[in-house]
Amino acid sequence: MVATWTVYVARTAGAISMARPKKSDAPDLAERVNLTAGAIERLTCPAGKQQAFMRDSEAPGLRVRVTAAGAKSFVYEAKLNRQTIRRTIGDVKLWSIEQARTEARRLAVVLDSGQDPREIERQQQADKAAQAAAAIVQAVAAQREAVTVGEAWAAYVAERTPHWGDLHRKDHERLTRAGGETSKRGTRGRGVTIAGPLHPLLGLALRDLTAPVIEAWAAREAQTRPTAARLAWRLLKAFLGWCAEQPEYAPVLPSVNPAKTKKAREALGKPKAKDDSLLKEQLPAWFAAVRSIGNPTVAAYLQTLLLTGARPGEVLAMRWDDLNTQWRGLTIRDKVEGERVIPLTPYVHNLLAALPRRNEFVFASSRNENAPLTEPNHAHDKACKVAAIDGLTLHGLRRSFGTLSEWLEAPSGVVAQIQGHKPSATAEKHYRVRPLDLLRVHHERIEAWILEQAGIVFDAKAEPGKLRAVN
pLDDT single digits (tens) 196-207: 999 999 999 998
- Confirm if 152 and 144 have CB atoms less than 8 A apart: no
**What's 198's DSSP letter?**
T
CA atoms of 233 and 243, how far apart (whole Å): 15
Q: How far apart are CA 222 and CA 176, in angstroms?
A: 16
Going by pLDDT thresholds of 50, 70 and 90, the confidence category of residue 121 is confident
DSSP per-residue string spanning 371-388: SBPPP-HHHHHHHHHHTT
Report the alpha-carbon distance of residue 374 to residue 184 in Å, rounded: 12
Residue 64 has pLDDT above 60, yes or no: yes
pLDDT value at residue 141: 65
Strands 457-458, 469-470: pairing is antiparallel
State the DSSP code for 56: B
The helix (H) or strand (E) run that includes residue 74 is strand 72-80
Higher pLDDT, residue 192 or 149: 149
Q: Looking at per-residue confidence, does 308 or 425 come out higher? A: 308
Phi and psi torsions of 76, nearest 5°? -115, 135
Predicted pLDDT of residue 119: 80
Q: What is the predicted pLDDT for the residue at 9? A: 47
pLDDT digits (tens, 9 = 90+) for 258-294: 999 999 999 998 876 667 899 999 999 999 999 999 9
Q: Are 26 and 42 in contact (CB under 8 A)?
A: yes
* pLDDT, position 470: 37
Mean pLDDT of the chain: 86
Strands (DSSP E) found in 329-415: 329-332, 340-343
- The 3-state DSSP class for residue 210 equals coil
Residue 68 phi, psi dihedral angles, 5° rounding: -60, -25
Per-residue confidence at 460, pLDDT binned at 50, 70, 90? confident
List alpha helices for 197-319, DSSP H.
199-202, 211-224, 226-243, 262-268, 283-291, 296-308, 312-316
The reply to whether domains 25-123 and 280-470 share a CATH topology is: no
Contact 451, 458 (CB under 8 A): yes
pLDDT at residue number 370: 87
**Average of per-residue pLDDT across 169-196:** 78
What residue spans define the domains of the chain?
A: 25-123, 152-268, 280-470
b/e code 289-313 from CB counts within 10 Å (16+ = b): bbbebeeebbbbbbbbbbbbbbbbb
At residue 155, does pLDDT exceed 80? yes
pLDDT given for residue 426 in this prediction: 42
Phi, psi values for residue 313, rounded to 5°: -65, -30
What is the assigned CATH class of domain 280-470? mainly alpha
Helix (H) or strand (E) segment spanning residue 174: helix 166-174
The predicted model scores a pTM of 0.54
> Would you state the pLDDT for residue 337?
63
Give the range among 176-190, 354-368, 402-416 with minimum mean pLDDT: 176-190
Q: Which residues sit opposite 83 in a β-bridge?
A: 80
Crossing angle of helices 149-160 and 226-243, rounded to 10°: 80
Residues above pLDDT 90, as percent of the chain: 62
Cβ of 141: how many Cβ atoms within 10 Å?
12
Tell whether domain 25-123 is in CATH 3.40.50.300. Answer: no
Label residues 11-34 b or e (16+ Cβ within 10 Å = b): eeeeeeeeeeeeeeeebebeeebe
